[in-house]
Amino acid sequence: MEKLKHIHGRIVAIPVNDIDTDQIIPARFLKVTDKQGLGNAAFCDWRYLEDGETPNPDFILNKPEYRGASVLIAGDNFGCGSSREHAPWALLGAGFKAVISTDFADIFRNNALKNGLLPIIVDVDTQQQLFSLAEEDPGTAVSVDVEGQALTLPDGREVRFPLDGFSKYCLLNGVDQLGYLLALDDDVQAFESSNPQRVTTTA
């Protein structure tokens, strides 16, 4: 995982509540065995017309003025539904570095953080302000300081967002969480020796 300390990027808004991971990447794209190349599948059924190939000119991500946006502003409860980690893989593949919403589904949030895609929780007023800014001026950009947990809006206003210390450490240092768990092997062995195995699948 690459270090993530700052993000500066243009915003694009999909002001829809409860965007589920089936919309972020439909299940038919889950037959892969790696993480690469999923960017084209991001929001596939919204992005393309019925033939699945022709870009839908009305969908915001297809509008030329929003190309290259790296911060997605979304409606409430983003990422609900399936646990597929293909959702953050697809968003990263499509060039996003952060998603801003009032709320994220638990599994999506965990998955995003493990891949260096930053879920930023803001209050509803900030969300609505960003929706308006994105619509009025496609050139609108925001800055994010991961260390300071601060989102800076175009008017200079700074909005703080929550981020647990452990995830922050991993993002800033570009380390994944597995190394931490592997280093606890003695603790795991101690747990196993004092707690009987519950089931044996190989029996």
Partner 1 sequence: MTNNGKPRTLFEKVWNAHIVRDQSDDSPAVLYIDLHLVHEVTSPQAFSMLRERDLRVRRPDQTIGTMDHSTPTTPRNDLGIIPVADVMAAKQLDTFTKNCDDFDIPMYALGDEHQGIVHVIGPEKGLTQPGMTIVCGDSHTSTHGAFGALAFGIGTSEVGHVLATQTLLQNKPKTMAVNVEGRLSDGVTAKDIILAIISRIGIGGGTGHVFEYRGEAIRSLGMEGRMTVCNMSIEGGARAGMVAPDDTTFEYIHGRQHAPSGADWDAAIANWRRLPTDDGAVFDKEITLRADELIPMITYGTNPGMGIPINAAVPTPEAETDFNRKIALDKALTYMDLQPGQKLLGKSIDVVFIGSCTNSRISDLRQAAQFIKGRQVADSVRMMVVPGSQQVKKQAESEGLDRIFREAGAEWREAGCSMCIAMNGDQLQPGQYAVSTSNRNFEGRQGKGGRTFLASPLTAAASAVAGAVTDPRTMLTGLN
Residues that bind partner 1 (CB under 8 A): 15-18, 20, 22-23, 26-28, 30-35, 45, 50, 52, 75-77, 80-85, 103, 105-107, 110-111, 114-115, 164-166, 169, 176-178, 180-182, 184-185, 187-188, 191-192, 195, 197-203
Q: How far is the CB of 118 from partner 1 (least distance, A)?
A: 16
26 vs 95, beta carbon nearer partner 1: 26
Nearer residue to partner 1 within complex by CB, 53 or 64:
53
For residue 131, what are the contacts with CB-CB under 8 A and spacing of at least 6? 13, 15, 73
> Given the DSSP bridges, would you call strands 158-160 and 150-152 parallel, antiparallel or unpaired?
antiparallel
Distance, in Å, from the CA atom of 163 to the CA atom of 119, rounded to the nearest integer, reads 9
State which residue, 10 or 171, has the beta carbon closest to partner 1.
Answer: 171
Strand order through the sheet with 71-74: 118-121, 98-101, 71-74, 6-14, 141-145, 150-152, 158-160
| Closer to partner 1 by Cβ: residue 74 or 151 | 74
